[in-house]
Amino acid sequence: MSKEEQQNKNVVPEFPSAVEQGKNLTELIGKFVDQALEGDMELLVDEFEKNRRFCICQACPYYHRASKRCKKCGCFLPPKVKIKVSECPIKKW
Ligand code: SF4
C-alpha cells in the first residue's frame, strides 16, 4: 500500500458496522413511511435533484466508487439519493 493510500485509509474509515448500517437503513425507511402516512406522496426527488446529490457524493471522500456506497452511513447511493426524505449524514446535501 502506498503512503497516499495509507493516509487516505487513515482519513476515511471503513464502512460502519452492520448494526450501525441497519440502524441507518431503519431510520431512513421510517422517515419514508412517515412521509407517506402523512399523505405526502411526492416520495422521490426529481431528476435534477437526484443528479445534484449523486454528483456531490461522487466528489466526497466517503464515496466508495466500486460499490456506489457511502462509507459514512453504509447506504447504497443510487437509491438513497432519489428518496426525498433521505439526508447526507454530514449534511453535504
Ligand atoms: S451521502 Fe454524504 S457523506 Fe455519503 S458519500 Fe454522499 S456526500 Fe459523502
The total number of structural domains in the chain stands at 1
Does residue 33 fall inside a structural domain? yes
Does residue 87 fall inside a structural domain? no
Beta-carbon-side half-sphere exposure of residue 42 (alpha carbons within 13 Å)? 3
Does residue 38 fall inside a structural domain? yes
In angstroms, the CA 20 to CA 9 distance is: 20
Q: Do the Cβ atoms of 92 and 56 come closer than 8 Å?
A: yes
Does residue 86 fall inside a structural domain? no
12 C-alpha vs ligand 1 centroid, how far in Å?
A: 12
Q: Is the CB of 56 under 6 A from ligand 1?
A: yes
Does residue 4 fall inside a structural domain? no
Does residue 73 fall inside a structural domain? yes
Q: Is the CB of 60 under 6 A from ligand 1?
A: yes
- Please state whether the predicted TM-score (pTM) of the whole model is above 0.85: no
Does residue 51 fall inside a structural domain? yes
Residue 59 above 90 pLDDT?
yes
21 C-alpha vs ligand 1 centroid, how far in Å?
A: 14
Report the chain's mean pLDDT, rounded to a whole number: 90
Does residue 88 fall inside a structural domain? no
Q: Is the CB of 9 under 6 A from ligand 1?
A: no
In angstroms, the CA 8 to CA 63 distance is: 12
